[in-house]
Amino acid sequence: MFKGPSEAAEFCTALKRRLAQLDGVDVAVFPPFASLDAAVRTLSDSDIAVGAQNVHWEREGAFTGEVSAPMLREVGVYAVIVGHSERRQLFGETDESTGRRAEAALAAGLDVIACVGEAEAEHEAGETQAVLRRQVSALPRNESLVVAYEPVWAIGTGRTATPDVAQEAHAFVKSLLDVPVLYGGSVKPDNAAELLARPDVDGALVGGASLELESFAAICEAASRS
């Protein structure tokens, strides 16, 4: 919940200028709902895509506060994130609701980044694969689906899964579902290159480091070299 419309437009203007010569990597920004239109308009003449942070599974109805996939399409959004760890932890979203959101978005023609990952207690108990298997099993099979592995114990804590731990989790997800898998746990400019060099790490879902232009651009540039 950062960057209202004016700040988002300013950021996107600077980002497209900063990454104008970048090759070999797909870049997307996912601002809050209120800033989607500003981002879409600002980036319409660039290769940087715009996505939303969540979506409801119904097309319309008595769901105050929710936003549907057709609404996002009309704004000009190309993708959406579902099942983010903060949505699961703070707002009670489940594997089932994540799957329903993904299905609705995909049916509407949106690309989907579906987040999976284990909490600290699950990680310490050696339950990573069991958690990932359960979460992945709730997702639809679709060529427009991307999975993001978010080790919850490494989000906003300053801790990062080692490249080997990330690689193992990504390889396991790919053994369950043949899709690209992004890493999303405290990705920063100083660890991005090493993480992205692992064979089954296909990109990054960047959190806090995406709020500052230079740090986000540095991660994009690291991805282009990986």
**Cα(3)–Cα(5) distance, rounded to whole angstroms?**
7
Q: 84 catalytic, yes or no?
A: yes
* Nearest to 180, CA basis, from 188, 190, 171: 171
Catalytic residue (choose from 84, 118, 123, 221): 84
Q: 120 catalytic, yes or no?
A: no
Residues paired with residue 116 on neighbouring β-strands, in sequence order: 149
Catalytic residue (choose from 103, 118, 150, 221): 150
Task: For the sheet with 111-116, list strands across it.
Answer: 28-29, 49-52, 79-82, 111-116, 145-149, 181-183, 203-204
Catalytic center residues: 84, 150
